[in-house]
Copies of this chain bind each other. A is one copy, B any other.
Amino acid sequence: MKSKNLFKGSLTTIILKLLEENGKMYGYEITQKVKELTEGKLQITEGALYPALHKLEADGLLDSELEQVDNRVRKYYKLTESGQKETIVKMQEMNLFVQTMQTLINPKWSF
């Protein structure tokens, strides 16, 4: 999350959503995908990503499996059933957050 601090707290949501869309991904792939999708506006640092992935797995929201590709080991993650449910919850939370912020910071339509 090499960005402004508004993104604090949204990393988990981003990870879950990307995995929901892409089925399975490995850590490095996630960092690249986010950079690509946001045109560099959001860069996830490894120091934030890997601990987050480990926590999600420890919480039972993700499964992981190692895969050998060209003498390199990739750790692929995918959503568990529990993770799929949580993804929906996180999306609702994100929508609520955006709505709530808009009621707080949007100039009132005073007319």
Contact = CB atoms under 8 A, between A and B. Distances in A.
Interface of A: 4-10, 13-14, 17-18, 21, 34, 37-38, 41-42, 91, 93-94, 96-98, 100-101, 103-105, 107-108
A98 B101 CA distance: 10
Nearest to A5: B9
Contacts of A9: 4-9
Contacts of A104: 14, 17-18, 34, 37-38, 42
A94 B37 CA distance: 18
A8 B4 CA distance: 12
17 contacts: A4-B97, A6-B93, A6-B94, A8-B9, A9-B9, A13-B105, A17-B104, A17-B105, A18-B104, A21-B108, A37-B104, A38-B100, A38-B104, A41-B96, A41-B100, A42-B104, A91-B105
A29 B101 CA distance: 18
Nearest to A106: B17
